[in-house]
Chains A and B, each alone.
Chain A
């Protein structure tokens, strides 16, 4: 293998190499790291980040950004929990509209998709920069969460709902199954469908894509709606795992998901990146978080380390882009 091929392989597998090195170091430093229980614990924890990071990857692939995923996650989780627990009482007609588990989850997912669609609409219709549009949605969704929950957690949601976040199926935690299905669908969309090709095309060169007849607005609307839907799935997983919808859930999740996308090798300027890279990025962040906790590193230092890792990933990405 000549030097150029060796370098290409190194760049291609840089995230995987980083993850393996991280695991080796952590298993040497902590005897609790490489245990079955801890592995499932880490997998369960990163399932939520994987779901929202997959959506974030699609958004970043079209050269956009979605800062609202954390708040959308909180709102959808709260709506699902609220409907499941309290339904909708209509005092004037002495009517109570109750929601089954299926109904509450469906409404949560629909709300997430609609909020994502709204993000896409403001971006495509009014040409609001994605950063600003989704920043506004971050605040709006958080405010709506506070209004819906009145600032209090909604707890005791029932065993069936709790099973989604805490249950096991065929020896694997259910959240891992859910995030796995999300990843498979996203890989198929990006690799095997027309939509996937349009996503890469728009991110690579929006003007050229427009000239070649791609309906850019429609693709963007779809991608933002998918990101909202995946944030809603994340919200339902978090709420179910805690058996409680917390009004402050999901704060800074958008940063974790962007970090997973960037560490996974997706270019912030769009058009380049993979879903599997993002999954690796999310696993790296999850393993790093877990390792730092096991090593009793102060939470303040944990943030510093995470920030440094993200910075390093972006610098490597830039260096790679320059060399291509």
Chain B
């Protein structure tokens, strides 16, 4: 009988020790305050206002980039393009100007000073071009891939809701514009004839 009691006592003590080292209690309000979740909208707006727009002056022009890509693609990709994914799709951050030669539902078509024909996306703004092209976001600053993806999503949302509407409402053929944005190219299957810039800055010069 005594042996049995000792056995139960030992088992109970082990269970209590395990339980004591297994759980802890806190006020839910304290935990919620400490775990303030990542605000992708705020991050994207700050990224646009504090990182992208102030650095427009330092960005390479589209004419320069396209000429470099045609003459020395490998070095140009290495020096100017960025991407967070593994693969051949690479993103370039750029600025430029041009004359509007045409408009449709999805793009405006411009001719640059070096007579390159490019498109500026005005309807379908998706993907990671604006997030990845400058190469200034560090993937390790994010605790999960969802937050990182939400940055792109929110950034594109800001472009669609704040940057494009005032531009689309007043732009017309023959206007001269200034832009800054990002475009993607496939390193393996290079095609510079249909470059489409996802803009984050658009200005009509009249």
Q: Residues of A at under 8 Å CB distance from B?
A: 87, 89-91, 94-100, 102-104, 106-107, 155-156
* 26 interchain pairs, CB-CB under 8 A: A87-B31, A90-B28, A91-B28, A94-B29, A95-B25, A95-B26, A95-B28, A96-B25, A96-B26, A96-B30, A97-B23, A97-B24, A98-B24, A98-B25, A98-B26, A98-B31, A99-B22, A99-B23, A100-B22, A100-B24, A102-B21, A102-B22, A103-B23, A104-B22, A106-B18, A156-B144
Chain B residues with Cβ under 8 A from A97's Cβ? Answer: 23-25
**Across-interface contacts of A106 in B (CB, < 8 A):** 18, 22
Give the secondary structure class of A's interface. mixed
Please give, as numbers and ranges, the residues of chain A lying within 8 Å of B27 by CB-CB distance: 94-96
Are the CB atoms of A156 and B22 closer together than 8 Å? no
Interface residues of B in 66-95 (CB under 8 A from A): none
**How far does the alpha carbon of A156 sit from the alpha carbon of B35 in the complex, in Å?**
14
Q: Is B37 an interface residue (CB 8 A)?
A: no
Q: Find residues 8-62 in chain B having any chain A CB closer than 8 Å to their own CB.
A: 18, 21-31
On chain B, the residues within 8 Å of A104 by CB distance are 22
Query: B170 near A: Cβ within 8 Å?
Result: no
| CB pair B23 A98 closer than 8 Å | yes
- From residue B121, how far is it (CB to closest CB) to chain A in Å? 31
Q: A94–B28 Cα gap in the complex (Å)?
A: 5
Contact A103 B22 (CB under 8 A): yes
Q: B interface vs A, CB < 8 Å?
A: 18, 21-31, 143-145
Nearest first, the 4 closest Cβ-Cβ pairs linking A and B are: A103-B22, A96-B31, A96-B28, A96-B26
Rounded to whole Å, the gap between the CB of B6 and the closest CB of chain A is: 24
Q: Which residues from B are CB-within-8-Å of A89? A: 28, 31
Please measure, in the bound complex, the distance between the C-alpha atom of A111 and the C-alpha atom of B115, giving whole angstroms: 69
Which among B21, B24, B26, B144 is the interface contact of A155 at CB below 8 angstroms?
B144
- The smallest C-beta distance from B72 to any residue of chain A, in angstroms, reads 34
In the complex the two chains form, what is the Cα distance from A106 to B19 in whole Å? 9
A107 and B24 alpha carbons, distance in the complex (Å):
14
Q: Chain B: which residue is nearest A89 at the CB level?
A: B28
**Measured between alpha carbons, how far is A148 from B7 in the docked complex, in Å?**
37
**Chain B residues positioned under 8 Å from A155 (CB to CB):** 144-145
Contact of B23 among A91, A94, A100 (CB under 8 A): A100
A94 neighbours in B (Cβ, 8 Å): 27-29
Contact partners of B29 in chain A: CB under 8 A = 94
Please give, as numbers and ranges, the residues of chain A lying within 8 Å of B25 by CB-CB distance: 95-98
State in angstroms the CA–CA spacing of A98 and B29 once bound together: 13
How far is the CB of B151 from the nearest CB of chain A, in Å? Answer: 17
Most A C-beta atoms less than 10 A away, residue of B24, B27, B28, B144: B28
Distance in Å: Cβ of B188 to nearest Cβ of chain A: 20
Q: A155-B144, A156-B143, A156-B144 are in contact. Are A100 and B31 (CB under 8 A)?
A: no
Residues of A within 8 A of B21 (CB): 100, 102-103
Known: A89-B28, A96-B26, A97-B23. A102 touches B143 (CB 8 A): no
Extra pairs beyond A100-B23, A155-B145 (7, CB < 8 Å): A90-B28, A96-B25, A96-B27, A98-B23, A98-B26, A98-B31, A156-B143
